[in-house]
């Protein structure tokens, strides 16, 4: 089996990375950063997001597993004290694959049919470059509302515990093939009105944003922040691709939610 390891870059994560690499090579696994069968992320959720985007072209061939060296995360389910156990599991045990849905983002431009496609593991946000963000929102090809405010956030179920939660969105179990639309500081008065609640869209529904005035926007794809000019529309839907996690033991999602947000 071929493996690769990504590190957060701090001394603790780098030490663990080199130790795991040495152990796995001793088990005659092959280190291959170009075409790994499994990618081990050492750090936190941000490190795994980086690994996901690095290997996004190999999602049907590469599985991910995370070791967290800082705060408890939602993607890293192993701790540094368990790396010997994890190494043996990777080297000796066939792993179970758990698939989570991803967000597809397609940005189309005004100048003749050009478009850019992205995949997000957590979320994508759209904000105005200057002034109030104004966008027509279509769901399944039908006009839903004209949004005015700071911006909009589209998240995956696995990303629902991140920025989406801070915006008042619901926490969705990551097995659900859905995306969630959450508002950022919408303007609601006698003149302007939005639904004012997060919307959960199933896999066969697409959300389309169409600029009303300003065509330039700040768009984030997970940790990546991008400026897009002359935007005609931005389409969001559940992607055909999925991320694959290597599981060597149960990973109870609701316990992780409890431990992260409820437990003392």
Domain map (residue ranges) of the chain:
2-95+248-261, 101-240
Q: Is 26 considered catalytic here? A: no
Which pLDDT band, with edges at 50, 70 and 90, does 254 fall under?
Answer: very high
Q: Is 244 annotated as a binding residue?
A: no
Asked if CATH classification 3.40.50.10330 holds for the domain at 2-95+248-261, the reply, yes or no, is yes
pLDDT at 191 over 90: no
CATH number of 101-240: 2.60.200.30
pLDDT at 71 over 80: no
Question: What does the alpha-carbon distance between residue 127 and residue 35 come to, in Å, rounded to a whole number?
Answer: 36
pLDDT over 90, % of the chain: 88
Identify which has the larger pLDDT, 6 or 196. 6
- Label each residue of the chain as H, E or C: CEEEEEECCCHHHHHHHHHHHHHHHHCCCEECCCCCCEEEEEECHHHHHHHHHHCHHHCCCCEEEEEECCCCCCCEEECHHHHHHHHHHHHHCCCEEEEEEEEEEEEEECCCCCEEEEEECCEEEEEECCCCEEEEEEECCEEEEEEEECEEEEECCCCCCCHHHHCCCCCCCCCCCEEEEEEECCCCCCCCCCCCCCEEEECCCCEEEEECCCCCEEEEECCEEEEECCEEEEEEEEEEEEEEEEECCCCCHHHHHHHHHCCC
Q: Is 240 annotated as a binding residue?
A: no
pLDDT digits (tens, 9 = 90+) for 119-168: 999 999 999 998 899 999 999 999 999 999 999 999 999 999 999 999 99
Which residue is catalytic, options 10, 26, 32, 45?
45
Residues in contact with 131: Cβ distance below 8 Å, sequence separation at least 6, in sequence order: 214
pLDDT digits (tens, 9 = 90+) for 229-252: 999 999 999 999 999 999 999 989
Q: Is 150 annotated as a binding residue?
A: yes
Question: What does the alpha-carbon distance between residue 83 and residue 200 come to, in Å, rounded to a whole number?
Answer: 37
The model's pTM: 0.95
Mean pLDDT of the chain: 95
Q: Is 185 annotated as a binding residue?
A: yes
73 half-sphere exposure, CB direction, 13 A CA radius: 22
């Amino acid at each position: 089996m071929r493996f690769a390891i990504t590190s957060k870059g701090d001394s603790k994560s780098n030490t663990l990375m080199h130790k795991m690499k040495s152990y796995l090579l001793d088990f005659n696994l092959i280190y291959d950063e170009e075409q790994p069968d499994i990618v081990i992320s050492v750090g936190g959720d941000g490190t795994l997001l980086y690994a996901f985007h690095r290997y996004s072209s190999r999602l049907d061939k590469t599985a991910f597993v995370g070791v967290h060296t800082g705060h408890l995360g939602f993607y890293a389910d192993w701790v540094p004290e368990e790396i010997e156990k994890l190494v043996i599991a990777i080297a000796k045990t066939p792993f179970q694959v758990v698939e989570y849905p991803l967000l597809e983002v397609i940005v189309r431009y005004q100048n003749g049919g050009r478009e850019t496609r992205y995949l997000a593991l957590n979320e994508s946000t759209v904000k105005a470059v200057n002034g109030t963000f104004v966008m027509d929102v279509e769901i399944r090809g039908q006009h839903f509302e004209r949004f005015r405010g700071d911006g909009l956030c589209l998240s995956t179920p696995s990303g629902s515990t991140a920025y989406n939660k801070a915006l008042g969105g619901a926490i969705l179990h990551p097995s659900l093939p859905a995306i969630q639309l959450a508002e950022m500081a919408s303007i609601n008065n006698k003149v302007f009105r939005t639904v004012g609640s997060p919307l959960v869209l199933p896999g066969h529904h697409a959300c389309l944003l169409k600029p009303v005035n300003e065509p330039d926007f700040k768009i984030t794809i997970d940790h990546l922040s991008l400026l897009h000019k002359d935007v005609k529309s931005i389409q969001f839907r559940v992607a055909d691709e999925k991320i694959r996690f290597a599981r060597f033991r149960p990973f109870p999602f609701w316990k992780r939610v409890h431990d992260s947000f409820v437990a003392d």
